[in-house]
Structure 1
Amino acid sequence: MHEQINISGIAAPLLIDNLDTDQIMPKQFLRTITKEGLDQGVLFDLRFDPDGRPRPGFVLNRAEYKNANILIGGANFGCGSSREHAVWGLQQLGIEAVIAPSYGEIFFSNALNNRLLLIVLESDKIGMLLQDLAGDKHLSIDLEKMELRSVSQVFSFSLGARHRKMIVEGLDMVGATLQLLPQIEAFEEKHFAACAWAKVLPAVGDGKDVCSL
């Protein structure tokens, strides 16, 4: 299993308060039945004009942020609807982490459960970080020491133990759950020993499962 202790790269400022998931992933890109191609829809109306041409002034269209893999966002980043496509699209675009003062609650859970690192950092510290990044745009995130490092600034951050483990070990929710399989099976065995009436038993003849109730 490959561990990811550090995320480093170019940090792009996307300082829009209340940037909602409808803006991050517009509705017309939700028609697919797979996750493929969602990077094309990320921030579409901000990245492109009505004729589909890139807006030269938008931060991610600027040459110095072409390969940005870290976003520095405004307050309440990812508010709005619960579309998980917003997270998948950001990841497909190459975004590995977002730093903001606060997040929409559902987006926060969706992101961390899909291994998109979200860091909460106070507004004044973000201001200091942006001053540093105005020169050297490279930022390093140390998940072992729980620190952000720019050219001259170091900031500590916190992250729940479960989500840190998932990101470091490359686990999604299914993978994290499967690590608990022995405990799950032990609970199941104990539960059905005490409540045998609740166990699903094979039906006679048709091969289907029926409850013994």
Structure 2
Amino acid sequence: MEKFTSVTGVAAPLEMTNVDTDMIIPKQYLKTIKRTGLGSGLFAELRYKDDGSENPDFVLNKPAYRKAQILIADDNFGCGSSREHAPWALFDFGIRCVISTSFADIFYNNCFKNGILPIKVSPEDLEKLMDDAKRGANATLSVDLAAQEIRGPDGGMVKFDIDPFRKHCLMNGLDDIGLTLEKAGKIARFEDAAKAERPWL
């Protein structure tokens, strides 16, 4: 998993509540088990018209936000089904951080396992960050995981809380497999001892 320490860039304002995982990545894109290539399907039903052309009114199709790395969203982001393809699609598009007042639990957990930092902030702080994001390419946000700070373009700063273990995993690029591999030596020693004690197995 790719490490996350900090990101500085344009933040896209997604002023929608209850954005579910089917909206993030529609069901027709779930046929693959690869983590790459899903960026084109991110928010497909909002990004594209029925004829396949881009919807110019959708935020990620606007020139200022085409390369956004941060997403500012309203309440209850990532609700709905538990599809892990949702964070895969966000990551493949280039989104490394999602900021909201609340997330669905499964989506929130899946973000940490796929190199995306989900940040919970107060409604007041979200309003400030959303205002910053609406300024487009003229304003960038900086998210510093080590300091647990979001810095705005005018010097404003928002602190955020995060579980220390999840912070450690993100900063070191450790998903569940990576955490297991950290104990590869102990696992190998256990297996060798087990074979010596029970050679018939």
Give TM-score, length-normalised by structure 1: 0.83
Amino acid at match of 2:140: H
Q: Please, what is the CA RMSD of the aligned residues?
A: 2.3
Question: Aligned pair in 2 of structure 1 residues 90, 159: CA closer, same or farther (>3 Å)?
Answer: same
The alignment partner of 1:155 has SS state of: strand
Task: Find the structure with the greater CA-based Rg.
Answer: 1
Aligned residue number for residue 100 of structure 1 = 100
Q: String of CA shifts for 1:166-194, please: whole Å, max 9, x gaps.
A: 211122221122223456567x58xx7xx
Aligned residue number for residue 27 of structure 1 = 27
Aligned residue number for residue 59 of structure 1 = 59
Aligned residue number for residue 152 of structure 2 = 150
Separation in structure 1 between the aligned mates of residue 183 and residue 9 of structure 2, nearest angstrom: 34
Bigger RCO (CA 8 Å, 6+ sep): 2
Aligned residue number for residue 177 of structure 1 = 180
Cα distance, 1:17 vs structure 2: 0.7
Separation in structure 1 between the aligned mates of residue 153 and residue 182 of structure 2, nearest angstrom: 38
The alignment partner of 1:78 has SS state of: coil
Give TM-score, length-normalised by structure 2: 0.87
Q: Is the 8 A contact 1:133 1:150 kept in 2?
A: no
> Which runs of 5 or more residues in structure 1 are unaligned?
203-213
Question: Aligned pair in 2 of structure 1 residues 200, 108: CA closer, same or farther (>3 Å)?
Answer: farther
Aligned length: 195
Amino acid at match of 1:163: R
Question: Aligned pair in 2 of structure 1 residues 35, 151: CA closer, same or farther (>3 Å)?
Answer: closer
Separation in structure 2 between the aligned mates of residue 201 and residue 43 of structure 1, nearest angstrom: 55
Aligned residue number for residue 113 of structure 2 = 113
Cα distance, 1:36 vs structure 2: 3.3
1:164 paired with 2:171, answer no
Q: State the identity as a percent.
A: 38
Question: Aligned pair in 2 of structure 1 residues 200, 157: CA closer, same or farther (>3 Å)?
Answer: farther
Separation in structure 1 between the aligned mates of residue 200 and residue 18 of structure 2, nearest angstrom: 51
Aligned residue number for residue 143 of structure 2 = 141
Separation in structure 1 between the aligned mates of residue 117 and residue 36 of structure 2, nearest angstrom: 21
Question: Aligned pair in 2 of structure 1 residues 33, 131: CA closer, same or farther (>3 Å)?
Answer: closer
Moved more, 48-57 or 26-35: 26-35
